[in-house]
């Protein structure tokens, strides 16, 4: 366990006054507050460290202990022992009923928000004097990432996720996009001092396991057609996402021609029964190895000026 | 809008220990929406997160209403930029 220099964290020297500490905390908290730095884990960690530093340095009793034993935190227990013996001898009631810890506490904070160093020095239940601990606070929001295949989000499906050891069953609506985040209410961290639970935010990573390219609800594909079909027209069969469709190719179709198959694209997110379009691009295949007969026919065509 | 999607503003004030004026100010600044049904004011469920964020910033960082308006505006802008970024990345994927 490493020693944490709380003064350094708050960019203060050891002679800092209470007002200096408050000012430094406010300045840094404004910079690193999680609400001002959404999805920034580094800022969140820094904010927790700043909070912890403020928790200790703004409390005269904790600051005194930290100043005295900070670097030699291992001796803090001996310090506590001596204190207990002293209070037992002096007859001051002592202890607040938690295995001999000498600090009062209130609230129901997530222990993970304070460092091991803090826990060791001040105990896990020694947090009562923060600047903003009075109200009910919503618990921490959790962020998770879920990887799905494109073919898995073509239809709304039920999935079971395990978040922090708990199984959550949820229906993922068809048409969810890569990078999209959805909120699952009440599946985040526990609230503080009776506040509501936080929310769970799931960000989707959609891996394309198909030959289609997707942009929102539209799909794109490329289909090869023969030179004769392109020139004379005809009927071809193309794959849609979940079936096959017959297409009429117009005579004289050029390479790169795009056709739209209305409603054959991807489902629109949260619009049941509505689909985007499928855009098919034709690539005209030029024959490479002609038979003798084909060559003859092409020679004939050439004479006609084609 | 269904009743279950609405939370009475007074209940929010009690639960979060905030003054009624604070809720009204957030509404007047356009940060949250208020729905009035038969003399009772409600905050829609999907505005609760915005309300909570503003309450935390106000309490923890001492940001006044003008500051909250600016913060809210910039956060919405970040959201929009993130969304644009995601859309462009997905589009870029079409050509990769």
Share of chain A above pLDDT 70, in %: 76
Q: Give the 3-state secondary structure of residue A202.
A: strand
Mark out chain A residues that contact chain B at CB-CB < 8 A.
Answer: 26, 29-30, 33, 35-36, 38, 131-132, 134-138, 177-180, 183, 199, 208, 213-216, 220
Contacts of A30 in chain B (CB under 8 A): 61, 63
Helix (H) or strand (E) holding A201, with range, is strand A200-207
Q: Within an 8 Å CB–CB cutoff, is residue B17 touching chain A?
A: yes
- CATH number for the domain spanning B40: value is 1.10.1660.10
Q: Which of A188, A207, A226 is the last residue of a domain?
A: A207
- pLDDT, greater one: A256 or A197: A256
Cα A65 to Cα A7, A21, A29, distances in angstroms: 14, 17, 24
- pLDDT, greater one: A112 or B83: B83
| Closest to A71 in 3D by CA, of A117, A18, A24, A9 | A117
Q: Which of residues 39-68 of B touch A (CB under 8 A)?
A: 49, 52-53, 56-57, 59-63
- pLDDT, greater one: A166 or A137: A166
Whole-number pLDDT of residue A111: 39
| Closest to B15 in 3D by CA, of A178, A92, A194, A78 | A194
| Closest to B43 in 3D by CA, of B16, B69, B72 | B16
Q: Is residue A116 part of a domain?
A: yes
Overall average pLDDT of the B12-25 stretch: 91
- CATH number for the domain spanning A19: value is 1.10.287.110
Rounded Cα gap, residues B91 and A46, in angstroms: 34
Contacts of B16 in chain A (CB under 8 A): 135-136
Query: Which of A84-98, A119-133, A266-280: highest mean pLDDT?
Result: A266-280
Q: Quote the domain boundaries for residue A163.
A: 142-207
Are A136 and B49 a contacting pair at CB < 8 A? no
Contacts of B59 in chain A (CB under 8 A): 132, 135
Q: Which of A157, A191, A207 is the last residue of a domain?
A: A207
Q: Which of A91, A122, A153 is the last residue of a domain?
A: A122
Are A136 and B17 a contacting pair at CB < 8 A? yes
Contacts of B57 in chain A (CB under 8 A): 33, 35-36
Q: Is residue A295 part of a domain?
A: yes
Residue-wise pLDDT for B29-45, tens only, equals 999 999 999 889 999 98
Whole-number pLDDT of residue A76: 60
Measured between CB atoms, which of A35, A180, A183 is closest to B57?
A35
Nearest CA-CA distance, residue A29 and chain B, Å: 7
The count of structural domains within chain A is 3
The count of structural domains within chain B is 1
Q: Are residues A197 and A221 in the same domain?
A: no
Are B93 and A178 a contacting pair at CB < 8 A? yes
Q: Are residues A65 and A89 in the same domain?
A: yes
Q: Is residue A34 part of a domain?
A: yes
CB A91 within 8 A of CB A69: no
- pLDDT, greater one: A170 or A21: A21
pLDDT at A242 over 50: yes
Q: Are residues A101 and A10 in the same domain?
A: yes
Whole-number pLDDT of residue A97: 30
Whole-number pLDDT of residue B57: 93
Q: Is residue A137 part of a domain?
A: no
Are A30 and B61 a contacting pair at CB < 8 A? yes
Are A33 and B71 a contacting pair at CB < 8 A? no
Q: Is residue A136 part of a domain?
A: no
Q: Are residues A159 and A263 in the same domain?
A: no
- CATH number for the domain spanning A232: value is 2.60.260.20
Contacts of B77 in chain A (CB under 8 A): none
Nearest CA-CA distance, residue A179 and chain B, Å: 6
Q: Are residues A94 and A29 in the same domain?
A: yes
Helix A41-57 × helix A18-32 angle, to 10°: 170
Q: Is residue A132 part of a domain?
A: no
Q: Is residue A28 part of a domain?
A: yes
Q: Is residue A106 part of a domain?
A: yes
Nearest CA-CA distance, residue B8 and chain A, Å: 16
**Which is it for the CA torsion A26, A32, A34, A36, positive or negative?**
positive
Q: Quote the domain boundaries for residue B47.
A: 3-95
Whole-number pLDDT of residue A252: 95
Whole-number pLDDT of residue B60: 87
Residue-wise pLDDT for A169-204, tens only, equals 888 999 999 989 888 888 888 876 666 788 888 889
Q: Are strands A200-207 and A142-149 parallel, antiparallel or unpaired?
A: parallel
With cut-offs at 50, 70 and 90, classify the pLDDT of residue A138.
low
Q: Please provide the DSSP assignment of A230-291 as one string.
A: HHH-EEEEEE-SSSEEEEEEPTTPPTT-EEEETT-SPBPTT-TT-B--EEEEEEEEPPSS--
């Amino acid at each position: 366990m490493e020693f944490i220099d709380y003064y350094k964290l708050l960019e203060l020297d050891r002679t800092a006054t209470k007002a200096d500490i408050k000012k430094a905390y406010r300045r840094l908290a404004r910079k690193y507050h999680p609400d001002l730095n959404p999805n920034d884990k580094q800022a969140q960690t820094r904010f927790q460290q700043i909070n912890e530093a403020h928790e200790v340095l703004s409390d005269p009793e904790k600051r005194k202990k930290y100043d005295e034993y900070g670097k030699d935190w291992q001796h803090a227990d001996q310090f506590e022992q001596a204190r207990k013996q002293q209070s037992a001898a002096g007859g001051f009631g002592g202890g607040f009923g938690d295995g001999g810890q000498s600090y009062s506490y209130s609230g129901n904070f997530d222990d993970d928000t304070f460092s091991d160093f803090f826990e060791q020095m001040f105990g896990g239940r020694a947090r009562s004097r923060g600047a903003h601990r009075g109200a009910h606070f919503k618990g921490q929001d959790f962020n998770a990432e879920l990887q799905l295949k494109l073919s898995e989000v073509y239809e709304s499906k039920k999935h079971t996720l395990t978040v922090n050891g708990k199984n959550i069953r949820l229906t993922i609506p068809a048409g969810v996009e890569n990078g999209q985040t959805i909120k699952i209410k009440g599946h985040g961290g526990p609230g503080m001092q009776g506040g509501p639970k936080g929310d769970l935010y799931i960000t989707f990573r959609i891996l394309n396991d198909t030959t289609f390219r997707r942009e929102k609800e539209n799909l794109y594909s490329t289909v090869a057609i023969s030179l004769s079909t392109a020139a004379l027209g005809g009927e071809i069969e193309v794959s849609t996402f979940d079936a096959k469709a017959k297409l009429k190719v117009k005579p004289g179709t050029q390479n790169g021609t795009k056709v739209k198959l209305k409603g054959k694209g991807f489902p629109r997110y949260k619009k049941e029964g509505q689909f985007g379009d499928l855009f098919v691009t034709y690539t005209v295949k030029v024959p490479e190895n002609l038979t003798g007969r084909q060559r003859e026919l092409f020679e004939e065509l050439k004479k006609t000026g084609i | 809008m269904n009743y279950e999607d609405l939370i009475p503003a007074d209940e929010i004030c009690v639960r979060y220990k905030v003054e009624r004026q604070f809720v009204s100010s957030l509404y007047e600044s356009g940060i949250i929406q208020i729905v009035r049904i038969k003399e009772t004011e409600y905050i829609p469920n999907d505005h609760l997160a915005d309300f909570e964020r503003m309450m935390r910033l106000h309490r923890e960082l001492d940001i006044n209403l003008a500051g909250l308006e600016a913060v809210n505006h910039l956060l919405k802008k970040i959201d929009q930029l993130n969304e644009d970024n995601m859309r462009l990345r997905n589009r870029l994927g079409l050509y990769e």
